Structure 1
Amino acid sequence: MRSGHDSSNIISLRFEAEELEPNDSFQLNRKQRRSLGHLIVTTPETERPITLFCNGLTVVGRGRNTVLQALRSGLFELVQSGKEDEGVIMLPSFTSPKKGQYSIPPTAFPQYREVSIGVSTETTHVVWKDILQPGRTYGLRLSEKAGEVIACYTDEFDGNPESLTSAQKLPVHRERAGTYYFTVHDDQAPPKLFARLEMPSKAHLNGPDPFTFVIEYTTDSPEPFVFDKSRSPLSVTNFCSGDLHCIDQLIDCRDDDTGEKVEWGAVFVCYDYDPHPVFPDDGDFVEISMNRPWRFECTLERLGNEKEYIRSMEGLKAGRTYKARVSGPSGFRRWQYGKKEDLLAGTREEKMERWEVDMEKLGCLDVERIEEDVYFKTIA
């Protein structure tokens, strides 16, 4: 193992911006988890692991980061495109007491990427609304010097980055390569759908009583609208009529004691081709409003039915308590305000023409789960 630090052990840090699709937009009023790019870390080290600390990039979940923290700490900077000097837009400064920490393993091929850290944001965050103006274009890039970045050999790290000496810190070179440009829009947010699960308190695995669970959908819209549920788990009402491959596409069900997820044996349908018509059937459109909820029902049969691979209760064990919640879908991308009878009137060609609308302007219908976990007991 080599000892000491030399000038060849320079870590490179750069921001690789995402390329926007032609119709992409940064919507202030619509929840969008936007991937803005990746922070790429490379090192020539082939023998010893390195730990990198970035003040301003805080890990959210698995390998995801929020860009607002990076902007507040100065690690990233925001510029307004179109200005001659592309002046940097200042945000209220903020330095997190806990630095984001990333492990970089050694490699025999240092010219390849060592660590790729995803950079994302939620577009409806209140800070964006305070600093961004609709209709303008902005650029996001890595700062040349601001925002503290520290690196060291992992075997020299005692758990506290503040205790590192100058001799222990490895040089970090920043490359100002990529800039993520985006145009801000403040289109009206679409209505929301809320999902609530209903289940009987007991499930008779072999008895005559069917086990029917219901997902009730409500909305905050006083004006009626129609959404297309085709190509989603909710398009299934009978065998061989839709996309649902397994119960867990609808509900997440787990043993309350062990936390073990139910491996359902109920596989509804599987196609080797696209079974959908050119335009969805009328039954795959749902009209809903604040005063008119919609209920999806699914009945699981007893274990010993003739076709027990269809909607059977296989996967559940007798004498157990299970908890369940709505699993999906997360949203619907085709919808319109209006009544179903009006939006689906006429020939198929007329319907297709009527539904050729600008969905970028309308936005996606998000689904929010509003209930607590639902519990039921299984009886042999």
Structure 2
Amino acid sequence: MTSKATPINGLSLRFEAEEQDAEDKFQLNRKQRRSLCHLIVTTPESERPITLFCNGLTVVGRGRNAVLQALRSGLFELVQSGKEDAGVIMLPSFTSLRKGQYNILPTAFPQYREVSIDVSTETTHVAWKEALQPGRTYGLRLAENAGEVFACYTDELDNPPDEIPPKKKLPVHRERGGTYYFTVLDDPAPPKLFARLEMPRKAHLNGPTPFTLVIEYTTDSVEPLVFDKSRSPLSVTTLCTGANLHCIDQLIDCQDNVTGEKVEWGAVFVCYDYDPHPVFPDDGDFVEISTNRPWRFECTLEEMGNEKEYIRSMEGLKADRTYKARVGGPSGFRRWQYGKKEDLLAGTLKDKMKRWEVDMEKLGYLDVERIEEDLYFETVA
């Protein structure tokens, strides 16, 4: 059982593994931005902010810790599970010239003040392929002593971290915490999809002239494959929750080229107060694609009517401006398989549902890579 006792005038640091399946899979050939665990920092300070310093800590937003950096600096350690004599697996050492730091605010209830720093990794990094062997299970944990970790009152930071005198450093106690276990797999990487945006150079804000944008999808797969685009912006329907396409900005990112201001589109396609999706997607929501068979998604912006008024789908753009645009989404598709659409959707609804009960852990998910440069268009009143 983990102790949450906090040393007086110091910080407590512990490692908490994410809840995981019995065999959490770590795919070497598939891009998985994995959140593996958290560093939990408990502060005893009720009045002054404290700054935590350690090698391997990368702060972005609320805080991130890159696993590989933490392993190379010694803050974390990796062991092979199931071996009685398993020692720590050493990665090439790495000490950052600049220590990572994280500011922790004071609290009126220090025994409950815990700051969680997410620990994540990209599983396809070349360092993992050099250190891990497919089929084996490993454990990741906080090192007992290695890797320099200390803290200091934020208002006393007059010098760079390496020049802080010992008397100003607050101790950081490492609690005995959990271990994150994962099994290494090297299943083949799934094919990729590539998205490229096409659009006119001029957008007419008034009148009958439509403005059609096209997102062309290509793939590196020679073998035909079919993916399901339902419940994505490309299905051009929506829920009130915003799960599907609600506005144009779910298709493209668009901003004023001079001011950088993001376009707030006024167009709303459809809005339901119930789930409009069938139990199984319509045939039209499945797309067949291969290297010699791209797929083009078209969306025309024009006047769109509803019961009360006409909504101009160009609303959000201002006249006589230049805008910059790029593909906005979706980032990938979670259901797909190799084959031809006519074969994969043949038969009754029951046949289709059975055929699409695919083990996506084995196949992996289709990522979308944007290959175009930013496009520019002018607005005409």
For the aligned pair, the TM-score class normalised by the smaller chain equals over 0.9
Q: Distance in 1 between matches of 2:259 and 2:130?
A: 46
Partner of 1:46: 46
**Gap regions ≥5 residues in structure 1:** 1-6
Partner of 1:28: 28
- Contact 1:233-1:329 at 8 Å conserved across structures: yes
Partner of 1:183: 183
Q: Distance in 1 between matches of 2:249 and 2:33?
A: 24
Q: What is the percent sequence identity of the aligned residues?
A: 83
Change (3 A) 1:73 1:314: same
Q: Distance in 1 between matches of 2:167 and 2:226?
A: 65
Shift of 1:58: 2.0
Q: Distance in 2 between matches of 1:218 and 1:366?
A: 12
Q: Secondary structure at the match of 1:167?
A: helix
Partner of 2:324: 323
- Contact 1:104-1:114 at 8 Å conserved across structures: no
Q: CA offsets, 1:100-124, max 9 Å, x none? A: 1111111111112332111000000
Shift of 1:62: 4.8
Shift of 1:61: 5.5
Q: Distance in 2 between matches of 1:131 and 1:192?
A: 26
- Contact 1:206-1:304 at 8 Å conserved across structures: no
- Contact 1:55-1:99 at 8 Å conserved across structures: yes
Partner of 1:313: 314
Shift of 1:64: 2.0
Partner of 1:235: 235
**Gap regions ≥5 residues in structure 2:** 1-6
Q: CA offsets, 1:243-288, max 9 Å, x none? A: 3111111111111111111111101122222111111111000000
Please tell me the residue identity of whatever aligns with 1:86: A
Q: Distance in 1 between matches of 2:231 and 2:215?
A: 17
Q: CA offsets, 1:68-94, max 9 Å, x none? A: 000000000000000114311011111
- Contact 1:216-1:294 at 8 Å conserved across structures: yes
- The RMSD of aligned alpha carbons is 2.1
Q: Secondary structure at the match of 2:111?
A: coil
Partner of 1:124: 124
Q: TM-score, normalised by structure 2?
A: 0.93
- Contact 2:237-2:244 at 8 Å conserved across structures: no
| Structure 2 residue 329 is the aligned partner of structure 1 residue 333 | no
Q: Distance in 1 between matches of 2:347 and 2:84?
A: 55
| Structure 2 residue 249 is the aligned partner of structure 1 residue 248 | yes
Q: Distance in 1 between matches of 2:124 and 2:50?
A: 36
Q: CA offsets, 1:181-227, max 9 Å, x none? A: 01111111100000001110000111332100000000000111000
Shift of 1:10: 2.1
Q: TM-score, normalised by structure 1?
A: 0.94
Q: Distance in 1 between matches of 2:134 and 2:119?
A: 22
Q: Distance in 2 between matches of 1:379 and 1:311?
A: 14
Q: Secondary structure at the match of 1:68?
A: helix
Deviation above 3 Å: which 4+ runs of structure 1?
A: 21-24, 237-240, 302-311
Change (3 A) 1:308 1:215: farther
- Contact 2:139-2:181 at 8 Å conserved across structures: yes
Comparing 52-61 with 73-82, greater Cα deviation is found at 52-61
Partner of 2:3: none
Matches within 5 A, 1:169-180: 169-180=169-180
Partner of 2:18: 18
Q: Secondary structure at the match of 2:101?
A: strand
Partner of 2:138: 138
Comparing 274-283 with 309-318, greater Cα deviation is found at 309-318
Matches within 5 A, 1:283-294: 283-294=284-295
